[in-house]
Chain A
Amino acid sequence: EVQLVESGGGLVQPGGSLRLSCAASGFTFRSRWMHWVRQAPGKGLVWVSRISSDGGTTNYADSVKGRFTISRDNAKNTLFLQMNSLRAEDTAVYYCVQWELGWGQGTLVTVSS
């Protein structure tokens, strides 16, 4: 069974940082591209970033470019999202996504003073 379990969310002040993690199991993690997608309260889904299976290619939404960094550890079947210079508009549930297989349960990031 495919499982994606996010962690690392929480309350952070504007300008602060957080590192999200996503533990993957039930599939060959090292062979799959991975994404982060977020959903602000009561809003739609917004793509954040993606990373190739070997970590060599990354893409970002314009809204997070230069502030967020996606990475992965294929030896530990784990995906990361380092979020710096956080803003109130980054407040959302962040989902770890494998396009063909499914989504994690999400982790809530709240940026507020």
Chain B
Amino acid sequence: QSVLTQPPSASGTPGQRVTISCSGSNSNIGSSAVNWYQQVPGTAPKLLIHANDQRPSGVPDRFSGSKSGTSASLAISGLQSEDEADYFCAAWDGSLSGLVFGGGTKLTVL
């Protein structure tokens, strides 16, 4: 069971906007930055968002992140077929003294 809670699945049609949530606690999301990763099965996770809402160079501006209190969200606008992947959130947990991850959300583009 993951420390951070994500919905197991999400879906949308091309062009739509999809939001994926990540819920934690005061010891993780509430007190540290959140990263988001995209993982195509069989490949390494790719950093999409760091420090809650910062996009690394090369990541399309269709991807955006936000954080409020002990929850964070990843929004994908203008959904494309190549966005079909697993998405994970992560944060440092001060109580556990370790990185904690969400269980992942499988995004399906219908």
Interface residues of A (CB under 8 A from B): 35, 37, 44-47, 50, 59, 61, 95, 99-106
**In the complex the two chains form, is B98's CB within 8 Å of A59's CB?**
yes
Instruction: Report Cα–Cα, A86/B43, bound state, in Å.
Output: 24
Which chain A positions have C-beta within 8 A of B37?
Answer: 103
Is B45 at the interface (CB under 8 A from chain A)? yes
Interface residues of B (CB under 8 A from A): 2, 35, 37, 43-47, 50-51, 56, 88, 90, 97-104
- Pick from B43, B47, B101: contact of A101, CB under 8 Å: B47
Interface residue SS majority, chain B: strand
Which chain B positions have C-beta within 8 A of A44?
Answer: 2, 88, 101-104
**In the complex the two chains form, is A47's CB within 8 Å of B99's CB?**
yes
**In the complex the two chains form, is B44's CB within 8 Å of A103's CB?**
yes
The answer to whether A103 and B99 touch (CB under 8 A), given A44-B2, A44-B88, A45-B88, is no
**Distance of B9 from chain A, by nearest CB (Å):** 14
Instruction: Report Cα–Cα, A100/B50, bound state, in Å.
Output: 6
The answer to whether A99 and B45 touch (CB under 8 A), given A47-B100, A50-B99, is no
Instruction: Report Cα–Cα, A59/B51, bound state, in Å.
Output: 21
Q: Which 7 A-B pairs have the closest CB atoms?
A: A47-B99, A45-B101, A47-B98, A105-B44, A102-B47, A103-B44, A44-B103
**In the complex the two chains form, is B99's CB within 8 Å of A104's CB?**
no
